[in-house]
Structure 1
Amino acid sequence: MLRKTATLASVCALLTGFTVAGTASAAAPSGESRAATFAAQAHKEGLTDVDAAALQRRVDGYLTTMGGKQVAANKIDLGGGSSVVLTLPGEKRARELTGTKRILDSCDSKTFCAFQNSQWWGDQIHMYRCDDYIIPWTTIGSWINNQTTGTVAQFKDNTATVRWVDGGAFAQDDTADWSWVLFVNNCR
């Protein structure tokens, strides 16, 4: 389950790409073999050792801030069909590395998607399970509500106060200001 509170240190860790001192490693349970698998996957995608390490630091930052389990070099499973997918170094749009390797510039059915940058670029949070999701960015981003008709998302500030509610599915914003948003509850 996602934490309902985020510490400033955790958010800073994500933004800088470094883990917070004293936090557990975000690697999957099987440790080094899992890390080697993700590194090999990154190398297969053409990443250098430096780029693969930078990607892993970003993944570790999200794991520290949002929880979940790393399931690919650039993907975190948040449970219940929800996930975070990161862009690869040098790329603007996130993409699946397993299976079809599709670019994720849209939002699957019955999902609310938050994008780090405007115009549906950058790292993404795919919210399927109804919950409060930490928005770790302070950028001008974007979002798509592709949930069932009438399902609205609530945008909450750092006190968990609802400050804005979207128009319901299908709504979107290609230039959303994440600077004041700490949580999105995808289906209220």
Structure 2
Amino acid sequence: MRRTGFLGAVLLSVVLCVAGVAAATATTNVDRKFAAQGTAAGLTADQIGTLQAEADGYLRELGGKQVALNRVELDGATIRIALPGETQPRQIGPGALDVNCDGGYADYRHFCAYRGKSFTGSHIDMYACGVYDIPESWVGPGSWDNNQTKGTVAQMMNDAGKVIYRTPPARSGDPNGSWTPVDRMRNC
């Protein structure tokens, strides 16, 4: 009798999990693998849809490849997406955690751009020297941390490609910047 109850509970949880993945996939056009990652992480269908919508925006605008529900890989950079109201992106999916920008401190040889003030929210980890577009949706308050090799200066540019700000040499950062005038940047 107990075994039947246990098996019934297991079967019910499998059905609910599959239903959650199906609901998330149907409402937001989420790849089944990514929807399953979100469900396994305890996210609701709405949260899964929110993360996928932000990832879709980055993919349309910047290109790259989505490798997890909340992670997009670009040439030389990684975008990790936080849920609205959360200070840091969550680990979702196997091998999806990239902590080079977590907690407001860029690891050595990294430049981290944060969508929110005080090193919070979705972020772009720029680990290879290059020019990177800043997403159009990043307007208003934001922050950055430059921990590239000693003395490295990053340049922020407007939409005409004119340098509008040069960071102090690494190690430097700004918890209260603004992404509004920044269209792209060279991290090195």
TM-score (norm 1): 0.76
Conserved in 1, the CA contact under 8 Å of 2:155 and 2:167? yes
User: Which residue of structure 1 aligns with residue 184 of structure 2?
Assistant: 183
**Higher helix residue share:** 2
Closer, same or farther: CA 101–75 of 1 in aligned 2, 3 Å: closer
User: Which residue of structure 2 aligns with residue 66 of structure 1?
Assistant: 62
User: Which residue of structure 2 aligns with residue 173 of structure 1?
Assistant: 174
User: Which residue of structure 2 aligns with residue 96 of structure 1?
Assistant: 91
Closer, same or farther: CA 43–123 of 1 in aligned 2, 3 Å: same
User: Which residue of structure 1 aligns with residue 108 of structure 2?
Assistant: 109
Higher relative contact order by CA 8 Å / sep ≥ 6: 1 or 2?
1
Conserved in 2, the CA contact under 8 Å of 1:88 and 1:94? yes
User: Which residue of structure 1 aligns with residue 47 of structure 2?
Assistant: 51
The RMSD of aligned alpha carbons is: 1.9
Identity %: 39
Alignment of 1:77-96 (within 5 A): 77-80=73-76, 82-96=77-91
Aligned length: 154
Counterpart-to-counterpart distance in 2, 1:84 and 1:35: 18
Return the index of the structure with the highest Cα Rg: 2
Conserved in 1, the CA contact under 8 Å of 2:148 and 2:171? yes
Q: Structure 1: where are the runs of 5+ without partners? A: 1-31
* Matched residue SS, 2:180: helix
Counterpart-to-counterpart distance in 2, 1:152 and 1:169: 6
Runs of 4+ in 1 over 6 A off after TM superposition: none
* Matched residue SS, 2:67: strand
Counterpart-to-counterpart distance in 2, 1:95 and 1:49: 16
Conserved in 2, the CA contact under 8 Å of 1:119 and 1:175? yes
TM-score (norm 2): 0.76
User: Which residue of structure 1 aligns with residue 6 of structure 2?
Assistant: none
Cα deviation 1:56-75 (Å, max 9, x = unaligned): 11100011111110011100
